[in-house]
């Protein structure tokens, strides 16, 4: 008898095969089969018709139902912690929720339902491989890769000042994003001697992609709906969350803050942004997801929680944080970890996640072949174990907790 773990794995495989088959049908000009207007049942899970589904109960990109927010004991808005462990990674046995009767809203399927679903999965997989025999994606089918081949270089945009993620020093590039980009480029047919990295800013990435200044962007690039209007994403390949970076105080557990009345500095225990005074000076990158989050925060009395200074990028904020121009730098915790590791006696990361971010690989919207090839390359890096090694060699060394890649919802 198959258990919930097998069901979860089968669901994931069915979803992936279905998406792949739809893409191949589109390229081959094969019309999609007609859809029944009745609710569909996939391996024991009832999927409502999109036309009748309530927006409030619509599944998120991860397939879960949106939950109401809660508050932390300190008064700050609580975020459901993203699963950054390997416990829920595909093939690792699922979460503890299954042991308590399965996730809310899912009934344990009967043996017949599971067997029928597995047969459907096998037939769908066979259809995928039959279609792929007729059409195999090749770099020569991608207009972006053809252009890169003609120029003799694949150009990848990344950040230039983020220790552990992407750094440029004396013409040499290093970091998790950089090494992952190298591996993907090699799988696309562009080894090191045919690869060029160029620095990109947070607010210039979409423009550089659309103006063909870069072929791909692999540089702490959060996927969101606004950006997806302009560019396409493959992935995500990393999950992170927004936190605060502050100057260490002179006693354990404290940080330096500014006295608004006197302008002098004093130390204070800070566990969350709600412990800070209204209109605290904070620096972040312009047009970043972090900027939007910071500008949305209010105190209990309705005042702005932060006075936000957006700069070209985070490495510029570090100088202002160290010289006391700003009290706080706020962005994704994997970025902050690199700065904290660089200045371990001066800086400390504060608080829990204020938002959740998923990093993806950015590219032009009108090159579906490139998108599929990048997705395939990323999947091979993950399945081969290379992703884990790159994580340990780069992010692990700056103190980022070991994790697994999130589901590739954009592949």
Classify the C-alpha dihedral 159-162-166-168 as positive or negative: positive
In the numeric block, the tokens 């354990």 are attached to 252
Give the pLDDT of residue 288. Answer: 93
What are 68-82's pLDDT values in tens digits? 333 443 444 445 445
Mean pLDDT of 285-307: 95
> Collapsing DSSP states into helix, strand and coil, what is residue 102?
coil
Q: Which residue has the higher pLDDT, 365 or 263?
A: 365
Distances (CA, A) of 306 to 82, 248, 376, 394: 25, 19, 42, 32
pLDDT-derived band at 377 (thresholds 50, 70, 90) equals very high
- Of 176, 175, 196, 174, the C-alpha closest to 185 is 196
Give the pLDDT of residue 85. Answer: 53
Give the pLDDT of residue 247. Answer: 97
Q: Which region among 19-33, 68-82, 139-153, 249-263 has the lowest average model confidence (pLDDT)?
A: 68-82
What are 207-239's pLDDT values in tens digits? 999 999 999 999 999 999 999 999 999 999 999
The two beta strands, 265-269 and 254-258, are: antiparallel
Give the pLDDT of residue 29. Answer: 55
Beta strands in 208-332 (DSSP E): 216-217, 232-247, 254-258, 265-269, 280-285, 306-311, 328-332
Give the pLDDT of residue 6. Answer: 47
Q: pTM of the predicted model, to two decimals? A: 0.71
Helix axes 4-28 and 368-383, enclosed angle (nearest 10): 150
pLDDT above 60 for 283:
yes
Classify the C-alpha dihedral 71-60-222-304 as positive or negative: negative
pLDDT above 50 for 34:
no
Q: Which region among 105-109, 139-143, 260-264, 281-285 has the lowest average model confidence (pLDDT)?
A: 105-109
Q: Which residues contact 304 (CB under 8 A, 6 or more apart)?
A: 278, 279, 295, 297, 298
- Of 313, 345, 306, the C-alpha closest to 327 is 306
- 6: which 2 tokens? 């097998």
% of residues, the chain, pLDDT over 70: 67
Q: Which region among 107-116, 158-167, 390-399 has the lowest average model confidence (pLDDT)?
A: 107-116
Give the pLDDT of residue 187. Answer: 97
To the nearest 5 percent, what fractions of the chain are helix, strand and coil? Answer: 35, 20, 40
pLDDT-derived band at 18 (thresholds 50, 70, 90) equals low
- Range 393-396 contact pairs with CB under 8 angstroms and sequence separation of 24 or more: 393/179, 394/164, 394/165, 394/174, 394/175, 394/176, 394/179, 395/164, 395/165, 395/176, 395/334, 395/337
What are 40-71's pLDDT values in tens digits? 333 333 344 444 444 444 333 333 333 333 34
Instruction: Determine the Cα–Cα distance for residues 11 and 118; give it in Å rounded to an integer.
Output: 9
Mean pLDDT of 356-363: 97
Nearest-5° Cα angle at 321, 317 to 325? 100
What are 97-134's pLDDT values in tens digits? 333 333 333 333 444 444 444 444 444 544 444 444 44
Q: Which residues contact 118 (CB under 8 A, 6 or more apart)?
A: 2, 10
Mean pLDDT of 350-358: 91
pLDDT above 90 for 168:
yes
329 DSSP assignment? E
Q: Which residue has the higher pLDDT, 25 or 405?
A: 405
Instruction: Determine the Cα–Cα distance for residues 386 and 79; give it in Å rounded to an integer.
Output: 31
Give the pLDDT of residue 24. Answer: 54
Give the pLDDT of residue 262. Answer: 77
Q: Which residue has the higher pLDDT, 100 or 170?
A: 170
Give the pLDDT of residue 280. Answer: 95
pLDDT above 80 for 241:
yes
pLDDT above 60 for 83:
no
What are 305-339's pLDDT values in tens digits? 999 999 988 888 999 999 999 999 999 999 999 99
Instruction: Determine the Cα–Cα distance for residues 350 and 336; give it in Å rounded to an integer.
Output: 10
Give the pLDDT of residue 16. Answer: 52
- 179: which 2 tokens? 């090494």
Cβ atoms of residues 156 and 198 within 8 Å: yes
Instruction: Determine the Cα–Cα distance for residues 347 and 351; give it in Å rounded to an integer.
Output: 14
């Amino acid at each position: 008898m198959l258990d919930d773990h097998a069901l979860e794995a089968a669901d994931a495989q069915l979803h992936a095969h279905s998406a792949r088959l739809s893409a191949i049908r589109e390229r081959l000009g094969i019309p999609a089969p007609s859809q029944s207007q009745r609710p569909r049942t996939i391996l024991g899970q009832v999927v409502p018709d999109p036309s009748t589904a309530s927006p409030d109960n619509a599944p998120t990109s991860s397939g879960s139902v949106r939950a109401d927010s809660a508050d932390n004991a300190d008064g700050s808005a609580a975020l459901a912690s993203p699963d950054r462990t390997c416990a829920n990674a595909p093939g690792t046995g699922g979460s503890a929720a299954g042991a308590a009767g399965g996730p809310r809203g899912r009934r344990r399927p009967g043996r017949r339902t599971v067997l029928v679903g597995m047969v459907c999965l096998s037939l769908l997989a066979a259809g995928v491989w039959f279609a792929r025999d007729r059409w195999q994606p090749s770099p020569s089918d991608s207009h972006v890769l053809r252009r890169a081949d003609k120029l003799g270089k694949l150009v990848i945009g990344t950040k230039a000042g983020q220790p552990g993620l992407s750094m440029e020093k004396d013409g040499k590039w290093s970091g998790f994003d950089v090494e992952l980009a190298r591996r993907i480029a090699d799988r696309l047919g562009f080894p090191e001697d045919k690869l060029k990295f160029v620095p990109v800013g947070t607010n210039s990435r979409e423009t550089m992609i659309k103006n063909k200044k870069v072929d791909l962007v692999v540089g702490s690039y959060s996927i969101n709906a606004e950006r997806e209007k302009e560019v396409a994403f493959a992935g995500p390949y990393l999950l992170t969350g927004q936190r605060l970076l502050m100057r260490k105080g002179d006693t354990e557990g404290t940080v330096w803050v500014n006295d608004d009345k006197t302008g002098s500095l004093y130390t204070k225990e800070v566990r969350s942004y709600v412990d800070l005074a209204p209109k605290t000076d904070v620096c972040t990158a312009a047009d970043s997801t972090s900027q939007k989050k910071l500008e949305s925060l209010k105190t209990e009395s309705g005042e702005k929680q932060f006075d936000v200074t957006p700069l070209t990028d985070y490495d510029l904020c570090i100088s202002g944080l160290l010289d006391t121009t700003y009290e706080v730098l706020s962005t994704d915790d994997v970025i902050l970890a690199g700065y904290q590791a660089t200045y371990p006696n001066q800086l400390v990361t504060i608080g829990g996640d204020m938002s959740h971010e998923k990093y993806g690989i950015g590219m032009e919207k009108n090159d579906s072949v490139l998108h599929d090839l990048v997705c395939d390359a990323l999947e091979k890096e993950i399945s081969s174990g290379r992703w884990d090694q790159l994580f340990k060699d780069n992010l692990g060394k700056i103190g980022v907790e070991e994790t697994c890649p999130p589901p590739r919802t954009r592949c």
